[in-house]
Amino acid sequence: MKVIIGAGGSSQPGWISFNQDDLDITRLTDWAKHFSKASIDCIVAEHVWEHLTMEQGFIAAVNCWLYLKPGGNLRLAVPDGLHPSFNYFNWVKPGNWINGDDHKVCTRTEALRESSKGHCFNAP
């Protein structure tokens, strides 16, 4: 089973798409409504984690891990907190009224990798 989180109305053949009103990734009860534990092969979440606080992001990642099969994949894509363009960073930073009004964090790869250590994740 392959799952897209935060699909925004899009869909892909062979994938099941969810938005927050269908699956709040921070709530185990929502996961249990749709899946059995260790039943998902792959989860993709593009431009979702920046809308969560760091704590919510960690809870969501643990929930993903609980529902992924052993060896399953979680692919996250977030705005690049280390992007060299000042304009890009200002466009995606939390609180920006143009694009970041709902952004809670601007994540760096190193921060994701560091927060995953010792918590059942193997970040590349």
78 touches 49 (CB < 8 A): yes
pLDDT, tens digit, 9 for 90 and up, residues 3-32:
999 888 888 999 999 998 999 999 999 999
Average pLDDT over residues 45-56: 83
Domain contains 123: no
Q: Report the CATH number at residue 77.
A: 3.40.50.150
3-state secondary structure (DSSP) of residue 64: helix
pLDDT of 118 over the 70 cut: no
Task: Output the pLDDT for position 57.
Answer: 85
Domain contains 99: yes
Task: Output the pLDDT for position 52.
Answer: 82
Cα dist. 106→35, 59, 82 in Å?
Answer: 30, 17, 9
3-state secondary structure (DSSP) of residue 7: coil
Task: Output the pLDDT for position 3.
Answer: 97
Domain contains 124: no
**Percentage of the chain surpassing pLDDT 70?**
64
Structural domain including 42 reads 2-116
Task: Output the pLDDT for position 38.
Answer: 97
Domain count, the chain: 1
Domain contains 96: yes
Task: Output the pLDDT for position 76.
Answer: 84
pLDDT of 119 over the 80 cut: no
